[in-house]
Amino acid sequence: MNKNLLSIAILVLAAAIVFVNLWKPSSPKDENKIVAPKEDVTASENIPDAALSQVQEGKPASDFELATLAGETVKLSDYKGKKVILNFWATWCPPCKAEMPHMQSFYEEYNGKGIEVLAVNLTKIDRGREAIETFAKDYGLTFQIPLDEDGFIGPQYQAFTIPTSYIIDSNGIITKKVIGPMDEDMMVNLTKDIK
């Protein structure tokens, strides 16, 4: 008997919660209320470190300059004339770990054929330079690994979920944004039909 009463009480409570959440009383004040039209956030908001309207498919990729794990300085604009896979990742990210062998294999196959891989490590939110060096060594990574040590480039490129990658054509135009890991076949398909 107690179980039946408890079940009924739970059902009544659930119904009451649904009713309260769906019920919207109208009052005379609400009828005369003026509602402002919604604005496009990307067009009107000034969000620090995130040029939301700039980093989109069909637009030029925003240039940046970063030091690499090897101690060199690279600029994205240095790669104009080549197709680029611009990837954002961290050592603690399981999907990034799954993606890296595919990226290395792709790089070995297509690097000499006008395609570059830039794997930007989100260093500010990662486990430090030593962890990145160990990761690169363990995975045998030979492509460029720029370090986003100040944490500005990741947000600029909306790398809020990682890995996030951008496919950039030889004219520096973003042709595709990919959220999540890619395999080698996907990289081939995304780069084969662009200039």
3-class state of residue 164 by DSSP: strand
pLDDT at 8: 77
**Is residue 58 predicted with pLDDT exceeding 90?**
yes
Which residues 6+ apart lie within 8 Å of 64 measured at CB? 75, 76, 152, 153, 156
pLDDT classification of 40: cutoffs 50, 70, 90: very low
Letter string b/e over residues 84-123, b meaning 16 or more CB atoms within 10 A of that residue's CB: bbbbbbbbebeebbebbebbbebbeebeeeebbbbbbbbb
Residue 162, pLDDT above cutoff 70: yes
How many of the other CB atoms lie within 10 Å of CB of 82? 15
pLDDT for 156 beyond 70: yes
Calculate the average pLDDT of the chain.
85
Predicted TM-score (pTM) of this structure: 0.74
Token output for 24: 């919207």
Span 21-37, pLDDT tens digits: 665 554 444 444 433 33
pLDDT tens figures, 78-111: 999 999 999 999 999 999 999 999 999 999 999 9
